[in-house]
Structure 1
Amino acid sequence: MKHRLGVLLAAASAIVMTARLAHAQEAMTIAVPGANWGEAFDSCVIKPFAAENQVTYRLEFGNSTTSFSKLQQQRANPVIDVAWMDGGISELANADGLVETLDPKRIPNLANLLPQAVAEKDGKQFAASVGFYSLGIVYNTKDVTTPPTSWNDLWDPKYQDEVIIPAPANAAGVPFILFLDRIWNTSPDLTKTFAKLKELKAAMYFDTSGNASNAFQRGEAVVGANFNVSAWDLADKGLPIAFTTPKEGFWANDGRIHLVKDSKHRELAEKLINSALTPAASTCLADKLYLGPSVKGVTISEKTAPKMPWGAKGSIDSLVQIKWDDINAQRSAITDLWNREIAR
């Protein structure tokens, strides 16, 4: 009897071990942004999840528009299981049928999200925010002795060939153009706005935040429109970089996590998304990436608070929420106009 019990226990252990090994051999593909963004998502969310679930994974680096294009190319046979994409591109991916509806029964931590962090269409949630960031003016404090106070300051002749702004390929590009148009109160066809954009003597129109950061590190840029995340990352590395909010205001966006349609590892992908929506993960992203928390119950440290997208004294309610459907309706036309008038 003891011998039989021992055999049964050994067999059961073998089955469990085999299941664990098979699970460990599961290779998920996760699309993340590059540079410090991808590093933070990996450190705060993916690595702890992989260690806990004995999962191997591969990171697919690229900005949101690149990941969106890859999902379109892989539509018939998806390779990517989970994709981080910014607001705006996120809506495009959903409209194109590339991401799954998130099920709160399978992803219970969706209940942790703040109302502003829920991305849904027609009552169906298609993405979950992992944190908020804002676009303001970043500048080198050694080269720019008087801090800029207005978006118009980017057109100051003293900054010519040393200023950067986002291109439409960046998630901030199209909203930035429309934001400027609203400030300048020009015609609805954007003719005057693009005429002013053509006057800007830019060192670079960046497609990724990593390229923008590199421009500051190499001394090619001394001022420009960029994210609080990128600015404080450079400052943490010892560069003389500051971030300021122009008097005309600023707008915010968020990084979102998505379950890819027909993912081959759906159960694991849902577990990863669930892991991203905890106070611990959100606190880590706030400390490492200066993303404003998207989940409830997060306490920001005194050191991190001034670097939040809403500043030391603001809150998530201070952020201007963008109507992405309105912006996406103009995205193609603005990109075409940019390519004709600016990029060439």
Structure 2
Amino acid sequence: MVANPFGDRAAELMEAKRGCIAEKTYKTTKARLRRIERDMLRLKEEGRVTTMSPAKMLPEDIKELVVYRKGKKVSASDVNHDIAVMGQLCTMCDNTCVQKCLAKYPGLKPVDKKECRLPPLPDATYKLILHRYNTMDHKDFRAIRPYVLVLLYCGTGARNKELRLAEMNDLDQEEWVIWFKHVKGEDSYGDPRPVPIPDEIIPVVKDYLKAREDFLIAHGVHPSTVTALFCSMNGDHGAMSSNTIRKLKTYVERDIGQKFELRDCRRAFGQHYLDNDAEEQDVSNLMGHASTKTTNTYYCRRRITKSIKNVKGKW
């Protein structure tokens, strides 16, 4: 008799996933399964589920787990991740109880509000940030660094870590293209990608590179020894932390009197190109998406007014 059917089968699933998914995803999934095991054990002790064995679970058992998690007021995304991993676990045991549960109880699966496309950074806000930068002393490294960072997030559509971990040799200063190597899913499905820097932001980057060089020399550091494009201002001058990135964004927010998220910059990147007649597939490629569906669903879509203008006279 198997002493721990859930834990044993969960271990089998994780062994099958080893090397197939990113290390961070692997650790997150493993921790999720351990937590689900504790939840199922509690439900079993309360008589709300019939078994701890993924091979023998019923649609009603899955329903009880989902209802329990929703009762904990966790996010819809978190509940949906639970459903997904339980689907994988039970399917591995030739048990389709999760699929049957979702079919039998319509509406049980919560709607993730993040599935709707949020608005991009307003064009007026982008122009305000650029205008504010142009009024600054471009030799003041501390002052311009937050602005250059935000403008590059807008101009390249980079994810947080993609620009944060970019290095000097990732920047082609002849073609003015930046290569993002630390992409989403870099250990598995993600591919490095080049993104052109917009013409109006190239002078901003040039100013930053000169100020960066002067700052490092003034602190007794030879610029060639510092690989991080956006280096920290102390210690070994390595790549900045995510927390530092957030602080620099907050600095810009306070200075211009408007709040925004870095993802707003990413959405603005895609929307700006679509508004200027770039092909959806090209925009999707530059954003590092596997398909235009992801781009359209979560980030940007051609405005209906633009579509009407484009089709006029083509009937």
TM-score, with length taken from structure 1: 0.25
More helix, by proportion:
2
Greater relative CO, 1 or 2 (CA 8 Å, sep 6+): 1
User: Larger Rg: 1 or 2?
Assistant: 2
TM-score, with length taken from structure 2: 0.26
More strand, by proportion:
1
